[in-house]
Amino acid sequence: MKRRAFLQALALAYAAGCRRETSRKDGRTVATLWFSYGGKNREVLLDLVKRFNAVQSSVLVEATFQGDYFEALAKLRTALAAKAAPTFSHVVGEVVPYLAEANVLEPLDDYEGAKAMALVPALAQSGAYLRDRNGAHRALVAIPFNRSTPIMYLNGSILEKEGLKAPLTWDELRDTARALTRKGDDARWGYEVPISWWFWVAMVGQAGGTLMSDDGDPTLGGEAGEKALAFWQRLVHEDKVMRPPPGRDYNAWQATNQDFLAGKAAITWTSTAFLRYLEENARFPVVAANLPRDVRPAVPTGGTFFTVLRQAPREEKEAAWSFLRWMCEPDQTIEWATRTGYLPITEPAIRRLRETGYYAKHPNDEVALTQLAYVEPWPWATELFRIQRDVVEPRLERAVFDGSNARTVMSEARAVARARVARSR
């Protein structure tokens, strides 16, 4: 019902007409950008915005921080209903279908150069989502920006000392975590990962499952989803080699990173986005490796897409598009990727990095690219982000901490998810 109310509010807003006037400053068209992160990534983005504003004189991009991804989404929904949205923004991949089906995103297919963009298929809209069952192509509404996959990081000094290698399978991960766990004064966890939907989704794919069936039923991986949860529970409660980090969302991610940097966790799973941060702050060699498989290798994509808001004045949308095209040029794509750890989103950028020997000097970056061969596309489902936030993630957290029966927990999650999907139709 919330989704229907949102759509009705937007319909009323459009019916009221009276689009806002194009914003201009010093003879330039102003394109407002809402963004959603801090630290190193914020620094690099603002550097790029500043440079874009300096290299041409017709467009001025004004970038404003709006909190984390889901705080920014809440603000965006409110602004859309009030016809006060920015010109463009970036949103996590799971949210794109929701906004697209609400008809608030600008179709970009006919914008100059859109069809010629040499985007990496697995990171672009075309490869990041499953197609409609009839094979139809959707309108282009999302341009890849800070794109990532989950990846495994290992403490190279500890690995060398113990004579071990990066685990290739779940069984090897369990054995390696046991071997690397220490108790007592020099306590160390063998393995640590945020109890997050994203990493669980990776394991669902590795165990052979999918989040939704072809007809849109949210199966949540079926037995594979239960197996993934039970694997974490076994590492925490039986083997006692995995620490579930405290906190939710990015607090848990930050706690995991700090434990790894402090040598309190020998192996961690986190995002490719943290590659440069971990390498620059670790006092030991950081070794990146593909996530271990169960019955097959699999990873989801993560991070965000740029989206242009349909209700913005045409001149502002064209101004935003000029910035997006500029960001997809090799120079900017390479700077963004190499300064942060996010994946380069165009083929020309990857070719240039190979030709200049970048990957030979930075093998961890190469690992992130190899995982793209195992990307599992997201279902194109409007309720996907609600299932993530409201249904699955809280149950994963609770079950890992209290050891609840994995089958019971996931059966309950499927029932709630199915009810949500049914109400949205």
Would you state the pLDDT for residue 39?
A: 81
Q: How many CB atoms lie within 10 A of CB 54?
A: 8
What pLDDT shows up at residue 297?
Answer: 97
CATH code of the domain occupying 150-300+381-424: 3.40.190.10
- Give the three-class secondary structure for 128: helix
* 392 DSSP 8-state letter: I
Number of Cβ atoms within 10 Å of the Cβ of 425? 8
CA distance 92 to 148: 11
pLDDT of residue 23: 85
Going residue by residue through the chain, which has 425 residues, state the pLDDT in tens, using 9 for 90 and above. 455 555 555 544 444 444 678 889 999 999 999 998 778 889 999 999 999 999 999 999 999 999 888 889 899 999 999 999 999 999 999 999 999 999 999 999 999 999 999 999 999 999 999 975 445 568 999 999 999 999 999 999 999 999 999 999 999 999 999 999 999 888 999 999 999 999 999 999 999 999 999 889 999 999 999 999 999 999 999 999 999 887 777 788 899 999 999 999 999 999 999 999 999 999 999 999 999 999 999 999 999 999 999 999 999 999 999 999 999 999 999 999 999 889 999 999 999 999 999 999 999 999 999 999 999 999 999 999 999 999 999 999 999 999 999 999 999 999 999 999 998 87
Q: Measured between alpha carbons, how far is 111 from 353 in angstroms, rounded to an integer?
A: 28
Q: Measure the CA–CA gap between 266 and 268, rounded to whole angstroms.
A: 7
The CATH code that applies to domain 21-148+301-374 is 3.40.190.10
Return the structure tokens found at 145: 């920006």
Burial label for 264, CB within 10 Å (0-12, 13-18, 19+), is: middle
Domain boundaries, the chain: 21-148+301-374, 150-300+381-424
- What is the per-residue pLDDT for 16? 42
Domains 21-148+301-374 and 150-300+381-424 share a fold: yes
Give the DSSP letter of residue 383.
T
- Residue 132 has a pLDDT of 54
DSSP single-letter state for residue 293: B
Assess contact for 346 and 330: CB atoms under 8 A.
yes
C-alpha 274/C-alpha 267 separation (Å) is 14
